[in-house]
Structure 1
Amino acid sequence: MKITEIDYEAAKPIDSYGDGFFRVDGKVHEGPMLILPDAVHKWGGYDDTAAILANADKIDVLFVGTGAEIAHVPASLRDVLEAAGIGVEQMGTPAACRTYNVLLSEGRRIGAALLPV
């Protein structure tokens, strides 16, 4: 079997996560994170949409990691993002990290807003 290394180009893969932190593109970040096609930001939670909306032309879907378990994303967040043309997929943070990396490796236009586990 031939194994091909994934080339993420300028995008930032999620290397790992743990109690209160994420390792993204080799760097450790503490607290909630927003991972966009060309940058990693601290995320202020469900009301913090400015950076996401500023990148609406670069992402089709935003994975929202709701922590250790799946939880509902506030309708206000979903409404704002969908009005900007961004699809919203909510899931527990572990699943959001895995799904983000798989779709990133396929070259999809995605982002992730993640609450820590």
Structure 2
Amino acid sequence: MKLQPDQSDVQTITAHGPGWIGVGNDKITHNVVIASNGQRLDWAGSFDALGPEHFDMLAQLQVEVVIFGSGARIRFPKPAWLAGLASRRIGVETMDTPAACRTYNILAQEGREVAVALLLEQAA
């Protein structure tokens, strides 16, 4: 699906599909963290490989909210994994990856300090 954001100075997701997202002219095909402050980081290998260390990494980003795109369907992280975010009073929202892309763009364009952590799964 092609997304057409208004002109923005923040890093936005311009398109997405099964197993990939577009950020500007870049096509990303691996799990990734995108932050409105310009950071872009490789992330966990799969949902089954997730652990508290992956969410602790997100807590270091100094954002006010993290959106977790859990893949093609909604899968919630274990509450213990979120302790580092909670201790820093960083909100977490979980949704499927396409919804996470759209929500991230809206919040980033509003000027919010936000990051999206995406699991990019290939089509079955």
Normalised TM-score (structure 1): 0.82
* CA shift in 2, pair 1:15/1:113, >3 Å: same
The 2-side partners of 1:30 and 1:106 are apart by 26
Deviation per CA, 1:14-48: give whole Å up to 9, x if none: 11122221111221111111012221111125332
* CA shift in 2, pair 1:50/1:8, >3 Å: farther
Which residue type is aligned with residue 29 of structure 1? I
Is residue 53 of structure 1 aligned with residue 59 of structure 2? yes
Say what the alpha-carbon RMSD is for the aligned residues. Answer: 1.8
Q: CA deviation at 1:51?
A: 4.1
Is residue 114 of structure 1 aligned with residue 113 of structure 2? no
More strand by share: 1
The 1-side partners of 2:86 and 2:44 are apart by 19
Q: Percent identity?
A: 31
Normalised TM-score (structure 2): 0.78
Greater CA deviation, 75-84 or 86-95? Answer: 75-84
The 1-side partners of 2:38 and 2:30 are apart by 19
Which residue type is aligned with residue 34 of structure 2? I
| Structure 2 unmatched runs, 5+ | none
Is residue 90 of structure 1 aligned with residue 94 of structure 2? yes
Cross-structure match for 1:31:
30
Which residue type is aligned with residue 6 of structure 2? I
